[in-house]
A and B are shown apart, each in its own frame.
Chain A
Amino acid sequence: MTATRLVDQDRPALIFRVDGVEVPAKQGDTLLTAMLTAGLGHVRTSEFGDGGRAGFCWMGACQDCWVVVAGQGVRRACTTLVEPGIEVIRR
């Protein structure tokens, strides 16, 4: 999926990395917003063979957007803000 930046997007740009690749984001983005607006399509892969997942509830309830942040462990993408230079690993 690709999330669409609609309003309130006049914020400083920054770069972080997902699976070793540089990804642009804006300050104040959650990891979920940053990854989905950048066109990465999904944030994790279902363990049971039914494809990629890109979160569902965006509010920390469904537990379907866990990613690994280097040095921080496993994090919910929808409730974790992006920071310049952080490394995200998709599982």
Chain B
Amino acid sequence: MVQADVLIVGGGGAGCSAALHLAQRGVRVVLLERGLVGGQATGVNYGGVRQQGRDPAGLPLARKSREIWSRITELTGADVEFDPCGHLKLARSEADEAELLRWNALAEEYGLRPRMIGRNAIRERHPYFSDVVVAGSLMEEDGSANPRLLAPALARAARAAGAEIREHHAVTSLAHDGRQFEVVAKETRFTAPWLLNCAGFWGGEIAARFGEPVPIEKLHPNMLVTEPLPYFLRESLGVVGGDLYLRQIPRGNVIFGGGRGESDAGITRTRPRPDAAFGAMRRAIAVIPRLADAMVIRSWTGTDGELPDHFPVLGPSATTPGLLHAFGFCGEGFQTGPGVGAVLSDLVMDGATDVPLGAFDIGRFTAAQIAV
């Protein structure tokens, strides 16, 4: 039997960051990961470190996380290729442009400084855009990082700080005896007064196990990458409506996505979908015609959890003392992962956090939503 102060289930960005933040505060923390850390949504997403376009209710969390991204190299002792290259959200119609203006005004109330780039300026600064693009909003402090590196880097740092990171430890049972949690993984019993549910899409099963089911659905973002092309694009791009996101890494490959992949019933295998890929390819060429000559060399998808209001479940359980949920990040968890770990650490150690979590409360779903 292994006794800890805090058990974490799930080694994505949130779980690994929580392990690191708690270990730094001297807590005995054990993280249980079914496969390898960062093997699911954190490891195979687009790699956007983006605040832009988020619902205002999510901005305080995104801001807190962005502050951690600024010192991610010092925090992890590793280069996770974080690049504050800016996130440029494109308008493809006047209605889109109005939407950008609306969000920019809201964002300023949260201390963000997005900048509108008008019709002429965008043509001048980005001559490779087609006429489809009518304007853009630039969040200079947004950017990107290498998703394959984040969770392993956080986990290594957590380990160095004293956390136990147990990979290939699939949880086979979970229980709470009124005082402590008992979790069995790889035929070993783990006990602790705190349990952090950072299990991504599968976090829904854990919540249900403690009597609070949520209406979570699988989300498989469909992504592609081109061969290396001459470097021309610094900013990470999005569009109003969200059906295309695209960035170029300094090595030259253009990473882009849009639409959804698929999985079999047990999610033993996820697959990108060619129809989604074709859609993203068409939209990418429509915005950047020079991509018509490029080749796609790889495509992939991953598994995240999605909730009806597009917010995650983040905060204390309504049924079980000592249980904290952090799952269902709706495809937007890569940027917030480091911040979520800090929030969880604050909740365990201080009983409070400076990030408002009301919108993320597990009790917000109606009985009808849950029944579906």
Chain A residues packing against B (C-beta within 8 Å): 47-48, 63, 66, 68, 73-74
Consensus secondary structure, chain B interface: mixed
| Residues in chain B near residue A47, CB distance under 8 A | 228, 251-252
With A47-B251, A47-B252 as known contacts, state yes or no: A74 contacts B228, CB within 8 Å.
Answer: no
| Residues of chain B in range 253-306 having any CB-CB distance to chain A below 8 Å | 292-295, 297
Once the chains bind, are A74 and B252 in contact (CB under 8 Å)? Answer: no
Q: Which single member of A48, A63, A74 contacts B293 (CB below 8 Å)?
A: A74
Chain B residues packing against A (C-beta within 8 Å): 227-228, 251-252, 292-295, 297
Give B295's nearest chain A residue, CB to CB.
A74
| Residues in chain A near residue B227, CB distance under 8 A | 66
What separation, in Å, do the CA atoms of A74 and B296 have in the docked complex? Answer: 11
Known pairs A48-B228, A63-B297; list 12 more (Cβ under 8 Å): A47-B228, A47-B251, A47-B252, A48-B251, A66-B227, A66-B295, A68-B293, A73-B292, A73-B293, A74-B293, A74-B294, A74-B295
**Shortest beta-carbon distance, A32 to chain B, in Å?**
17
What separation, in Å, do the CA atoms of A68 and B251 have in the docked complex? Answer: 20
Give A74's nearest chain B residue, CB to CB.
B295
| Residues in chain B near residue A68, CB distance under 8 A | 293
What separation, in Å, do the CA atoms of A66 and B252 have in the docked complex? Answer: 16
What separation, in Å, do the CA atoms of A73 and B293 have in the docked complex? Answer: 6
What separation, in Å, do the CA atoms of A42 and B292 have in the docked complex? Answer: 24
| Residues in chain A near residue B294, CB distance under 8 A | 74
**Shortest beta-carbon distance, B230 to chain A, in Å?**
8
